[in-house]
Amino acid sequence: YSMGDGVKAAVLIGIVGFVCFVNALGEYSGQDPGAALRAQMGKEKVTVVRDGYEQAIEVQDLVVGDVVKIKMGDMVPADMILIEVSDLQTNEATLTGEALEQVKTVDAPKNKKDNEAYPSNMAFSGTSVVSGTGTGEVVATGMRSQVGLIARRLKDHTSPSETAALNPLQRSINFLGMAIGGVCVVVILVATTISYLTRYQNPTTPCADDDDICLLLTSISRGLIMAVSIIPHGLPFVVMVMLRVGSQEMAARNAMVTRRSAVDYLGATSVICTDKTGTLTQGKMTATALVGLYRPDASSAEANTSDLSFYPLSGQSPNGGLFCTSSLTEASKKSIDGQWDSRQTCQAFTNVGCDDLLKPCKEEGFSANASLESMMAQAHLAVGFLNSYATKMEKDRTTGAWSIVGNMTEGALKVAAAKAGFWDPEVAPLGTSQQCLHDVSPRQHDLEVPFTSKRKMMATIHALPKDRLLTSLRFPKEASHFAILKGAPDKLLSKVNFVLSFDEGSLRVPGSKLSSSERENIQSQNGVLAARALRSILVAICPLGSPEMQTLRKAGGAEERLKALLDMPRLCFMSLWGIYDPPRPTVPSSVQECHRAGIRVVMVTGDQRPTAMAIGKQVHIIAEDQDPEECSAWCKDMQVQKRTPYPRVLLRRLSKGSRERLGFSEDGDETQNLGDQGLGGGIVSQEHPSPMPDPEDKDSANDPCYKDREELDILTRKVSVWARAQPSDKVALVESLIGQGHIVAMTGDGVNDAPALKRADAGVAMGISGTAVSKNAADLVLMDDNFSTIVEAVKQGRRIYNNTQKYVTFNLSIKAGECLCLMSAIVLGVPMPIRGLQLLMNLLVTHILPPLALAFEPPETYLMKVPPRETKNDILVSRIMWLYRWLPFVICMPIVVLSCLTFGTWTSTGYIDGNELIGSSRIIIVQEGLAACEYAGYLDARREFIEDLEPFHCRCTSHPTGNIFSTPLVIDQWGKQVSELERETTLDPWTGSYGTLYNLENTAWSLGASNFLEPCADHAGVERWCWRSEESVLAGRLPQASNCAAYGAQLGQTMSYVAIHVGEILTLLSFRMDGCFWEHLFTNKFYLGFLVFNLTMLTVFLYVPSVSNLLGLAPLTSVRLFTSLFFAFVLFGLNECVKILYRMEMEKQNKELGRIAVRWGRGLDASDEEAEKRGQRFIDSKV
């Protein structure tokens, strides 16, 4: 603008303003996890006992020492020590992440174990009561409770992304920006210096021959234009759009991004720390194994073992079968999977390589002709169904999904029974012909024995039908009822005395006497289930006659009835159930994909270590060739000591009994009771600062201490499965991994996970089971709670980074190519191939908008077969990209563009050199063919020559249509005084011809040039043309910008602009994918749309007069246009040829990176080549 070019200044300001405006719509995050926590706490009412009276008060009014009563359905309002319980069970999933009910007691556990996360004699704020009632004395409220401590950690700790405010991609872009800024300064200085020293001028707007000030200003202007050509103006905008598109792609795959920077963190993730329950597993207790014993006949010495397996296991869907474990091969499973229909309720599987033992029951109900194994299966499921009466199945009418209302363990039995057609009437499918078993054998509710934590078993009493048959079970004639006992094997197995026996087409109860070997067999089977991480439940059955029923009715209570049942001699072993939370079907393959991608998967769970190891092996976190003992550990192994989580001053307010149960003595010393339980969590070592480091805060002094950084890093480097995790353990694990240079993604669903989610580079919360606190603390929310979705998100993150790499490489290539074109033009002295305003418009329609199509490119096939990228000192463009993509293009572009420029200029003027096109005031220069134009001027008082800005004579040799095979036309133009209107109406914009307007015979110059000019010598003795008088100037001069030389140069510049414009949009096609362009030509509709837009704008630039005049372009004839397009396709073709070498180098590099990825993914040492090979074979075998 200071140089008088207001149009260019306005356009440049407009483009910069547009980019800034779009970028202002970028990242915004106003998360407040504490607000979600406060919303969760709410203003609820709670029943307390004060002054001997019960009263309802708001939770916020609770104080330490209050006695609170809780019942089923309540949320525990505060941390409290229990002083009275009645079958009390709570769900502590918000704290532990595990959905199993926790049985509560008054007394502290007798067997104190360091790995117990929360003691059974306490109830914790934010947990829910699922059964029973209880009374407790408040120990801590609000922010001093366990859930409050977690909230404080959220406040005191932010993730590295929040601390540094920049994710790896942003840091890379900033680093690249600083480098480009330095290059721009150098380019400005070099370009200005070369332009000034070589006295380079543009033929369309030249300075006077000796006007040094004009020359300096135009030189600076060219330097600035070259700097503009280098700066990637659209980089922040394009990256923001790519992250936004990545977020939308993830959302389409059930991953909702709450902070777009998480897209990049996921792409760079090297470790995924994942919860087990609901993420790796389905979060639903499922019956998977069923073991029974039976004597084939009364004379058999030993019982046969009935080892059965349920398949397929699809959460709580009742659609499935029961098969003999020995015949359920992998091939059979594939056949079953092929037949399984999620829309059906009870499906019979045929021709799958093994018999569905429930098929007869599904098709025609109980059949006496069924096989013995099928009879056993029906008996198992019928008994389990009757005993689990309190738990119900529900079906969502909208989604068709099944859920359990009641006890999750009984829900597993209820779902298994439904697979055999045993239904509650309210959910029975239409067309069900079987009568409900509850009607066949009604329950005697007054005689049942409910489950308690002390008993660890329950019993129900049922009436027998008249025929004494219950499906395949036949009871003695004297029996009128039967009892079903269900409980822990260690409590119940010693009491059973009989085993079923087959006789006359049915299974007789009680059958035959249980031998010692058979009892050992049951114990052995129980051990097998435990080794498979299955929760075992033993079911026994006992026929009851009139004497037994009288004994039960006379019993004083549930304890006496249970004792009477256990003492009955005819108690018969029925079945041993194996129940567990099955892995999601897609998880094992997703874990393998992570390993191939060089990503370690670390499982962090609240389960016991054996269970965690078993699940780890099932999902391939622990490989078959790895020792589970070495790959797993207790979370307590990270700690050096533990303390009670409550301040001493608060504990002194409790009653004496509560203090004793907490292990707090009168003199203020803690015993090991709570310490052993491992409550609370924090980090107080020097390497891992405490989540609450305030030295005056007495709460922080009660957090556990962790090992020093070096010891902790050694431990976390080799362990992939962590058991019995507490909130602070997860934070310590994340901090250790981040300290080792890893980019860590952490999953979680409970309140306890929120601090670790905030501390991780990418926090991932569960959308279904997750709490509001965890979702607000996370960067990514999984709407389906599926680990495989995380892997898809990682793939999307890598895709976005890879596409960003392509954009940056493309952008730097065309920017550097344009800059080198301009620099080469200055050095060679030819006209500029692209001018300032043209460059700015090309920037908008080619550099900023079309590259947005890269955001929609699919991932390259190798992206998940190479390790995560190195985020330190990353400048986006790799060495191979510099050598085989950027450098060849930067070399080829100036050659092609300047060839197009010189060709177009020569065919229009007969000249190539810029100084020849501009001409000179030296005499006879045109007549000798040394320049196209002649200028005149005058000598001032110091005899310095002052040259005109406009020539008086130009002579060009032109091929009007651009066809070099046509006869050239000599254009000889002489100056003439004409109006602007006459000039515009006479000019032919296609050829630059004015017809006969400037022909010699039509001008005053026909009288002879000597009448107006005379030779004169300047102060240096150079002979020049001088006007004879002031009136001589009236003879006329030619227009500066539209004489034959200037307009011919403009035609050449227009051709070079078309070559640049089209060549760059075609180059974008080449940069889209690593493969050949024809394979992906029509795969990206956005690119095709931008291609049409780009070419449309080019047409507007060339053939709309007002626009072409503004940009300094000229309309091209068809020959000149196709010639320009030819050069553009040459540039594109050269780029495609060089890309062959690029692919070869990439394949070689990716092969080596794939080997490294295997080591990294399995957590192997880089030197462990043999382990790497074993791991690669293992992965390949699973693919």
d(CA 216, CA 207): 10
434 or 237, higher pLDDT: 237
pLDDT at 399: 77
pLDDT tens per residue, range 530-562? 878 788 899 999 999 999 999 999 988 888 999
Mean pLDDT of 323-332: 88
pLDDT band at 164 (very low <50, low <70, confident <90, very high): very low
Mean pLDDT of 503-527: 89
Mean pLDDT of 473-497: 92
- One-letter amino acid identity for 512? S
Does 79 have pLDDT greater than 50? yes
Both tokens of 662, joined, read: 């907490």
Mean pLDDT of 31-53: 61
pLDDT band at 42 (very low <50, low <70, confident <90, very high): very low
Mean pLDDT of 230-250: 79
Inter-residue contact 128 to 112 (CB < 8 Å):
no
Listed range (41-55, 154-168, 437-451) with the worst mean pLDDT: 154-168
pLDDT tens per residue, range 360-414? 766 655 555 678 888 889 899 999 999 998 888 888 878 778 888 878 888 899 9
Mean pLDDT of 612-616: 86
Does 29 have pLDDT greater than 50? no
Q: At what angle do helices 235-252 and 787-828 cross, to 10 degrees?
A: 160
Question: What ranges make up the beta strands (E) of 188-233?
Answer: none
- Radius of gyration of the CA atoms of the chain, in A: 42
Q: At what angle do helices 727-739 and 146-156 cross, to 10 degrees?
A: 30
% of the chain beyond a pLDDT of 70? 84
1013 or 673, higher pLDDT: 1013
pLDDT at 778: 83
Mean pLDDT of 575-592: 87
Mean pLDDT of 60-71: 89
pLDDT at 704: 65
Through-space distance between the first and last CA atoms of the chain, rounded to whole angstroms: 63
Beta bridge partners of 971: 956
Does 886 have pLDDT greater than 90? yes
Does 570 have pLDDT greater than 90? yes
Does 176 have pLDDT greater than 50? yes
pLDDT tens per residue, range 710-746? 889 989 998 999 988 877 788 889 999 998 989 999 9
pLDDT at 369: 62
Does 691 have pLDDT greater than 70? no
pLDDT band at 603 (very low <50, low <70, confident <90, very high): very high
CA distances from 613 to 258, 722, 1170 (A): 33, 9, 24
Range with the largest mean pLDDT of 232-241, 603-612, 815-824: 815-824
Spatial CA neighbour of 736 closest among 765, 702, 708, 705: 708
Does 697 have pLDDT greater than 60? no
pLDDT at 1170: 44
Mean pLDDT of 125-149: 83
d(CA 45, CA 57): 5
pLDDT tens per residue, range 1003-1047? 999 988 888 999 998 888 888 999 998 888 888 899 888 899 999
Helical ranges in 324-371 per DSSP H: 330-339, 359-364
d(CA 954, CA 975): 9
pLDDT at 779: 85
pLDDT tens per residue, range 411-433? 899 999 988 888 888 887 765 65
Does 661 have pLDDT greater than 70? no
- One-letter amino acid identity for 443? R
Question: Residue holding tokens 């760059």?
Answer: 1064
d(CA 101, CA 115): 17
d(CA 544, CA 483): 7
Helical ranges in 113-167 per DSSP H: 146-156, 160-164
pLDDT band at 110 (very low <50, low <70, confident <90, very high): low
Buried b (16+ CB within 10 A) or exposed e, 440-463: bbebbeebbbebbbebebbbbbbe
Does 957 have pLDDT greater than 50? yes
Listed range (95-109, 681-695, 920-934, 1116-1130) with the worst mean pLDDT: 681-695
Inter-residue contact 113 to 624 (CB < 8 Å):
no
Name the average pLDDT for the chain. Answer: 82
42 or 651, higher pLDDT: 651
17 or 902, higher pLDDT: 902
Q: At what angle do helices 168-197 and 212-230 cross, to 10 degrees?
A: 160
pLDDT band at 777 (very low <50, low <70, confident <90, very high): confident
Sign of CA dihedral 844, 850, 851, 856: positive
Cα–chain center distance at 1047: 56
d(CA 293, CA 573): 8
Does 1183 have pLDDT greater than 60? no
Cα–chain center distance at 727: 23
pLDDT at 257: 84
- One-letter amino acid identity for 136? G
d(CA 173, CA 232): 11
Mean pLDDT of 1162-1168: 58
Does 163 have pLDDT greater than 70? no
pLDDT at 696: 40
Mean pLDDT of 984-1008: 90
